[in-house]
Amino acid sequence: MQASEQQRKYGRPAVRHAASAAFLALAIACTAAGLSYWRASFINVADRPGSRELIAEAGAPALMEYTLSLRYLTACVDVMSHWTFAVEPAADRRLLTQRCTEMADAQRRQSGPSAEGEMVFALAARGGGNSGRALSHIRKSQELAPRDLWNTIKRVELVLALVPEEDLGGLRDYFGGEFAILTGSNLGVNTAVALYAKYPSIRAALLDISGEMSPSDRLRFLNRVKRLAGG
C-alpha cells in the first residue's frame, strides 16, 4: 500500500499520535475520577442496567408507594455508588441525581426517611463536594437501618471513599456498629477481613468489636484474619 493510501485510511502519523495521546490522557483522567470508589468497593450487589431501567420507569415521586419507593431508591444507590458513575457525562449524572433525590425527598415527606433515601442524599452530597453533609446522611442511614447488611456495606464503602485514611481512626464509634453487622455473616465477614487488610487505622475498632461477637462469629473472623496474615 502506498504512503498516500495509508494516510487516507489511517491519517497522518503526527495526527494519529496526537489523537492517541489525547485519548490516553482522557482515559487516565476518567479512571482516576472513579478510583476512590473502586478502592473502597468490596462487592457488586446488583445489576446496574436493571437498576437504571427501574429508575427510568419510576412514576411521579409524589405518588409513589413506600415499598415501591424503597425499590427505586435501592436502584439509585446501586447506580450512584458504582465507581463508573463518576466518569459518566456530567449532564447524565445531574439528571439521574436529581431524579433520585426527588424520589428520596418525596418518600421522606410522605412516609418518613429511609436508610436508602439517606444514602441517596449522601451520594448526592458527595457528588457536590460536601463531605460533611454526606457523612451526616450516612449516620442517619445507620440509625434507620443499623442491622441491614446491604446498607451497611454501601455505607462503609462511601465512608472509605470520603474520609482520608489517616482520619478513619476518629470514626471508631461509627465503625463499631457497622462491624458488628459485617462480622455476623459469611459475606459480611469477608468484607470485614478485607477492611482489616487494607486499612490499618481501623484495625483497633475491628478488634474491639470482636470481643463482643458470639463465640462462633469471633472464631470465624479471627481465623480469616489469621489466614490472611499467612498464619
pLDDT of residue 22: 45
Listed residues 162, 185, 218: the one ending a domain: 162
Residues 169 and 73 in one domain: no
Domain count, the chain: 2
Residues 111 and 145 in one domain: yes
pLDDT of residue 45: 47
pLDDT of residue 150: 92
Amino acid at 163: V
- Which residues of the chain are modeled with pLDDT < 70? 1-49, 59-64, 229-231
Helix, strand, coil shares, percent, the chain, to 5: 80, 0, 20
Residues 147 and 186 in one domain: no
pLDDT of residue 49: 67
Residues 75 and 23 in one domain: yes
What is 54-100 written as a DSSP string?
A: HHHH---GGG--HHHHHHHHHHHHHHHTSGGGGGS-HHHHHHHHHHH
- Residue 98's Cβ-side half-sphere holds a number of Cα atoms within 13 Å equal to 6
198: containing domain: 165-231
Residues 117 and 151 in one domain: yes
pLDDT digit string, tens, across residues 196-216:
888 888 888 888 888 888 888
pLDDT of residue 152: 94
- Compute φ and ψ for 58, nearest 5 degrees: -60, 135
Residues 118 and 189 in one domain: no
Residues 202 and 227 in one domain: yes
CA–CA distance from 6 to each of 2, 11, 18, 74 (Å)?
6, 7, 17, 52
pLDDT digit string, tens, across residues 170-190:
888 898 889 889 888 888 888
Residues 95 and 180 in one domain: no
pLDDT of residue 44: 46
pLDDT of residue 15: 43
Residues 131 and 187 in one domain: no
